[in-house]
Structure 1
Amino acid sequence: MSNNPVGVDNTFRKKIDREEFLQRARERERQEQEEDERRRSKGKGPPVQRKPLKQRDYEIDLESRLGKTQVVTPIAPLSQQAGYYCSVCECVVKDSANYLDHINGKKHQRALGMSMRVERASLEQVQQRFELLKKRKPAGSFSEKDLDERIQKQQEEEEERKRLKRERKKEKKEKEKAALQEQEDVDPDIAVMMGFGGFGTSKK
């Protein structure tokens, strides 16, 4: 019997066989060439070269007909029927979610002459994009100076609130003191005649 344990030895790193991958690549290229030749022989011509996927340069209007009533007739042209009309594919989609799916889908992009692949950006393009975004300051952003000013303004407002609160408290105490003083000045007999029992004081 052997002393080696039975099982799979997975303690080594997998080695890549370059020859095998080269052979696979050559085989794939050969199959693509054969398909191109078959297509040409059938009269279909070479495969269409499509542009890479690009960002939209227009706004999608989803809300212009929101809340409006419309009379739908079967003889009306597609562009005037209820729903969202795609002029590229000449079809009507009934709701906004499906319309967005349609214009982002493969069929619509192919009709525009684009593939579903995105062009690989170079390092220079990425750096230019970062510079552009740095220059274009969004409306809601602010610098450290703005932040310091806002903090200082908030502290001043807080101090003002505290000062007003102290003043109100002081005024209240003064009013209570004045009322107590008036109580002491009133004759007790007159207070009893008027129905006041002494204004809640314990003085006799």
Structure 2
Amino acid sequence: MSQPGSNAVGVDNAYRRKFNREEYAERAREREEKDEEGRFKSKSKGPPVQRKALKHRDYEVDLISRLGKTQVVTPIAPLSQQAGYYCAVCECVVKDSANYLDHINGKKHQRALGMSMRVERASLEQVQSRFEILKKRKVAGSFTEQDLDERILKQQQEEEERKRQRRERKKEKKKEKAAEEETEERDPDVATMMGFGGFGSSKK
């Protein structure tokens, strides 16, 4: 170890790279100017796209039409014929129903439809008119307990009638089968001609 008063032999740091500050300051100024020009150009393109407010679907999402069915899938088939749920708007295939619902309710799909994720604020008149529509629908579709009992009784009677008709059809089929067997037994000439003569007992 060297003494504090003595001349210490150190490492020469002259090999370190020295940066030209003026050069880098000039580069930074040029980069800032380019960024400002780019921002000005993007602003001058036109006003931002005005998207419609989010609205509810006027169609029902079909999730069960292909339930329980088999489908042959080939790697060269178009997207619409591959396994899963196909979205024609985004041109993609989603593998299961939960992810398909997430997709059609998601931001990307709604943007492709031209809608934002914001909901339009309803006015007082709109809310009141909606209440009126729902009240009319409830009155038109309402029924009493007596109506319900009548409907249940009617369904039970229809079910009993179907069962009775099934039993009658079975009885008729049995009668027809028995009649055919009797005709075959009564006509021994036809039986011998067809080669059924050896079915009787061997005892005479």
TM-score for the superposition, normalised by structure 1:
0.49
TM-score for the superposition, normalised by structure 2:
0.49
